[in-house]
A and B are shown apart, each in its own frame.
Chain A
Amino acid sequence: GENVEQHPSTLSVQEGDSAVIKCTYSDSASNYFPWYKQELGKGPQLIIDIRSNVGEKKDQRIAVTLNKTAKHFSLHITETQPEDSAVYFCAASYASGGSYIPTFGRGTSLIVHP
């Protein structure tokens, strides 16, 4: 099955700095790569996703890059703000029997210091 590794487990930055979270996956069949943000005591929410036919996608201060050959993808957050503090999960999935069953990384706790 799919295996997703995520690094770092904890990331501490100053407000205004950039933050980068990296993930690798093992199954070349995976073709959908979402990122979820989880605030304390809440369920995760999708913040950005990318498909295997695209190398980069941006949405305001966040961007995701994908290198299919190396089987790794990254989340980039620029101009970080205290409200970006949360746990971020990457995932990899592919269609199987009409469903996408994502495999999640272990999460990165991002702390943005004012």
Chain B
Amino acid sequence: DGGITQSPKYLFRKEGQNVTLSCEQNLNHDAMYWYRQDPGQGLRLIYYSQIVNDFQKGDIAEGYSVSREKKESFPLTVTSAQKNPTAFYLCASSRPATNEKLFFGSGTQLSVL
């Protein structure tokens, strides 16, 4: 089955800790994205990557970091600088050259202990 997989489904962060959310896709998509979802706020773009070894900041990148060393993987690190990290995090991918449609993973709920 082709798809996009996020793990873990639930994650807890302690004060001052960095945590990393995993996102893997086997759709052979070039572009990958990270969105943050808060109740009543819609989906806000954190980072996106159009190709391997390149990524761009979205609207709310402060306190987050990413890497894109492989086409299939786009992990997101929530650093201790992100003071309000509790949210639902969604990863997505697309092949913009042929289709603008985004394929989303099932999300990771991050909570602060």
Contacts and interface: CB of A to CB of B under 8 A. Distances in A.
A45 B104 contact: yes
Query: Chain A CB within 10 Å — which of B33, B58, B96 has the most?
Result: B96
Q: Which of A100, A101, A102 has most chain B Cβ within 10 Å?
A: A101
B101 A104 contact: no
| Number of chain B interface residues as a range | 20 to 34
B96 A104 contact: no
B106 A42 contact: yes
Contact of A46 (B59, B90, B102): B102
A40 to B, nearest CB: 11
Contacts of A6: 42
A68 B9 CA distance: 40
B105 interface: yes
Contacts of B90: 43-44
A106 interface: yes
Contacts of B40: 9, 106-107
Contacts, number: 62
A45 B3 CA distance: 12
A41 interface: yes
A34 B50 contact: no
Given A98-B50, A99-B48, A99-B96, A89 B106 contact: no
Interface in A59-114: 89, 93, 95, 97-102, 104-107
Nearest to A97: B50
A111 B22 CA distance: 32
B100 interface: yes
A43 B31 contact: no
Given A106-B41, A106-B42, A100 B106 contact: no
Given A98-B50, A98-B96, A99-B48, 10 more contacts: A1-B59, A41-B107, A43-B105, A43-B106, A44-B43, A44-B90, A100-B96, A101-B33, A105-B42, A106-B40
15 contacts: A32-B100, A36-B104, A41-B106, A43-B90, A43-B107, A45-B104, A46-B101, A49-B101, A89-B42, A97-B50, A98-B97, A99-B31, A101-B58, A102-B100, A105-B42
